[in-house]
Amino acid sequence: MKLIFDNCRVPDENILGNVGDGFIQSMKVLDGGRISIAALSLGIAKGAYQVALQYSKEREAFGQPIGGFQSIAHYLADALVEVEASKLLCYEAAWAKQNGKELRRLASMAKIQSCETFRAVASVTIQIYGGLGFTLEADPQLFFRRAKHLQNSLWDYSYLRNQLSEEILG
């Protein structure tokens, strides 16, 4: 479906913002959207971490919970570090938005970091679940698919990385 506004006049009292600043306004809205996606990714990553942690305490191999094995414990420790690091960046981006600070860079960094954390934690959750993690009967595969979807929402990693690079290098 296509919607075309041809010879459409908007009365002055109905104009939002300044005439000619529509692109700038839309980019500001998208910055807020990236913060929202970052927060969503972070929340689900934390949930995926908790699912993996609980499973590692319940699932037994060789007569003990698999969480007692060093490799599983290290996966969980690394996942927790990533979740907590992403949380700080999300909080900083949300604070900047709330306080009217420049947030293009922070919004992009928060989205990149949180989405990457979500993907990594989802991957770890699949590994902890073993073969069951790939099946539709268990949630880890759903976490991973959702993580990949959110990574590509409101611009993907490559676009945001290029945007950050241009801003950093001038």
| Confidence label for 9 from pLDDT (cuts 50, 70 and 90) | confident
Q: What is the pLDDT of residue 53?
A: 98
Q: What is the pLDDT of residue 12?
A: 86
| Confidence label for 142 from pLDDT (cuts 50, 70 and 90) | very high
**Cα–Cα distance for residue pair 149/126, rounded to 1 Å:** 17
Crossing angle (nearest 10°) for helices 22-58 and 70-98 = 150
- Provide mean pLDDT across the span 102-131: 95
- The residue among 18 and 118 whose pLDDT is bigger is 118
Q: What is the pLDDT of residue 86?
A: 97
Q: Could you state, in order of their start, the residue ranges of all structural domains in the chain?
A: 35-58+67-169
pTM of the model: 0.84
Q: What is the pLDDT of residue 79?
A: 98
**Cα–Cα distance for residue pair 147/98, rounded to 1 Å:** 26
Q: What is the CATH number of domain 35-58+67-169?
A: 1.20.140.10
Nearest alpha-carbon partner for 142 in 40, 48, 27: 48
Q: What is the pLDDT of residue 91?
A: 97
Q: What is the pLDDT of residue 121?
A: 98
pLDDT tens-place string over residues 63-73 = 999 999 999 99
Q: What is the pLDDT of residue 14?
A: 87
Residue 108 in tokens: 């992009």
The residues, ordered by sequence, that sit 6+ positions from 58 with a Cβ below 8 Å of its Cβ are: 65
